[in-house]
Amino acid sequence: MDEDEELERIRRRKMEDLLRRRNTASEPISEPIEVTDSNFHEVVRSSRLVVIDCWAQWCAPCRMMAPIIDELAKEYAGKILFGKLNVDENPEVPGQYQIMSIPTFLVFKDGVLVDRIVGAMPKKILEQRITRYI
């Protein structure tokens, strides 16, 4: 098994553990979880309302939005599951959803894409766009 396969196996196991704990723990997940091409569909189906933050390390607006996503994940723990998908490391999902600009926030309700929010914005505006689906 090469190094990439081993890392992917570890990531997958970590995600399965996190989702299993989420389903059995009294504490909801209060921080964004790492999303990859391989666990994307599992994450999207794991909660009633899921927001995927599509970002990249080199993207200044993405880095600007990171603390906002962290805050929203804490504030809406148990109501909204937030995930972060690095588009440089995971090209399949951005291709599938035709993501041309980042940050892009994909909003899924009951596993179905209901909104696509593109660009950096104040917390209040992003919060309003997302919470209308609760």
Is the predicted pLDDT of residue 24 greater than 70, yes or no?
A: no
Q: What is the pTM of this model?
A: 0.83
Judge contact between 26 and 50, C-beta under 8 A: no
User: What pLDDT, on the 0 to 100 scale, is given for residue 129?
Assistant: 97
Task: Give the per-residue pLDDT at 78.
Answer: 94
CATH number for the domain spanning 105: value is: 3.40.30.10
Q: pLDDT tens-digit profile of 36-51?
A: 999 999 999 999 999 9
54 is catalytic: no
Q: Which of 33, 35, 50, 62 is catalytic?
A: 62
As for how many domains the chain has, the answer is 1
The identity of residue 68, as a single letter, is: I
Per DSSP, what are the bridge partners of residue 81? 50
Q: Is 116 helix (H, G, I), strand (E, B) or coil?
A: strand
- d(Cα 63, Cα 56) in Å, to the nearest integer? 8
> Measuring CA to CA, which residue among 53, 10, 5 is closest to residue 32?
53
Q: Catalytic one among 18, 56, 59, 117?
A: 59
Q: Which domain holds residue 58?
A: 3-131
Q: What is the DSSP letter of 107?
A: E
- Is 62 designated active site? yes
